[in-house]
Structure 1
Amino acid sequence: MYIQQIRNATIIVHYAGKKFLVDPLLSDKGLYPPFLAGIREDMRNPIIDLPMSVHDIIKDVDAVILTHLHLDHYDDIAKEVLPKGIKVYVQNEQDAKQVKNDGFQQVEILAEDTLFEGIQLIKTQGEHGRGEDLLKITGQVCGVVFKHANEKTLYITGDTVWYDGVQKEIDSYNPEIIVVNAGDNSWHDMGSLIMGKEDVYEVHKAAPNAKIISVHMEAVNHWTLSRKELKRFGEEKGFSSSLFVPEDGETYTF
Structure 2
Amino acid sequence: MKIQLIRNAALWLEYGGITFLIDPMLSEKGVNPPIVNTENDRRNPLVPLPGPVQQWLAPDALLVTHLHQDHWDAAAVSLLPHDLPLLCQEGNQEQIAEQGFINITVVPDQQPLTFQGVTLTRIGGQHGTGSIGELMGKVSGFIFRAEGEPVLYLAGDTIWCEEVKEALDGHSPDIIIVNAGGARFVTGGHITMDDQDVVNVCRYAPAVSVIAVHMDAINHCMVTREMLKACLEQENLLERVALPQDGEWVELLTV
TM-score tier, shorter chain, comes to over 0.9
Show structure 2 runs of 5+ residues with no match.
none
**Which residue number in structure 1 is paired with residue 95 of structure 2?**
98
Contact 2:57 2:81 (8 Å CA) reproduced? no
Paired residue secondary structure (1:5) = strand
What letter matches 1:130 in structure 2? T
**Which residue number in structure 1 is paired with residue 200 of structure 2?**
202
**Aligned partners of 2:3 and 2:234: how far apart in 1?**
26
Contact 1:66 1:74 (8 Å CA) reproduced? yes
**Aligned partners of 1:247 and 1:100: how far apart in 2?**
33
**Aligned partners of 2:16 and 2:147: how far apart in 1?**
9
**Aligned partners of 2:134 and 2:164: how far apart in 1?**
19
**Which residue number in structure 1 is paired with residue 40 of structure 2?**
40
What letter matches 1:193 in structure 2? I
**Aligned partners of 2:17 and 2:44: how far apart in 1?**
33
Paired residue secondary structure (2:221) = coil
**Which residue number in structure 2 is paired with residue 127 of structure 1?**
126
Paired residue secondary structure (2:92) = helix
**Aligned partners of 1:147 and 1:37: how far apart in 2?**
39
**Which residue number in structure 2 is paired with residue 2 of structure 1?**
2
Return the offset for 1:30: 0.8
Return the offset for 1:38: 2.2
Paired residue secondary structure (1:179) = strand
Paired residue secondary structure (2:211) = strand
**Which residue number in structure 2 is paired with residue 108 of structure 1?**
105
1:105-136 deviation per Cα after TM superposition (whole angstroms, max 9, x unaligned): 111111332111111011101110012x1122
What letter matches 1:175 in structure 2? P
What letter matches 1:137 in structure 2? L
Q: TM-score, normalised by structure 2?
A: 0.96
Show structure 1 runs of 5+ residues with no match.
none
1:143 counterpart (118, 122, 141): 141
Return the offset for 1:208: 0.7
Contact 1:37 1:186 (8 Å CA) reproduced? no
Question: What is the root-mean-square deviation in Å for CA atoms of aligned residues?
Answer: 0.9
What letter matches 1:57 in structure 2? W
* Identity in percent: 36
**Aligned partners of 1:24 and 1:240: how far apart in 2?**
27
Instruction: Tell me, yes or no, if structure 1 residue 28 matches structure 2 residue 25.
Output: no
Contact 1:16 1:119 (8 Å CA) reproduced? yes
Paired residue secondary structure (1:12) = strand
Q: TM-score, normalised by structure 1?
A: 0.96
Return the offset for 1:83: 1.0
Paired residue secondary structure (2:25) = coil
Instruction: Tell me, yes or no, if structure 1 residue 75 matches structure 2 residue 68.
Output: no
1:198-225 deviation per Cα after TM superposition (whole angstroms, max 9, x unaligned): 1111111221111111100010111110
What letter matches 2:2 in structure 1? Y
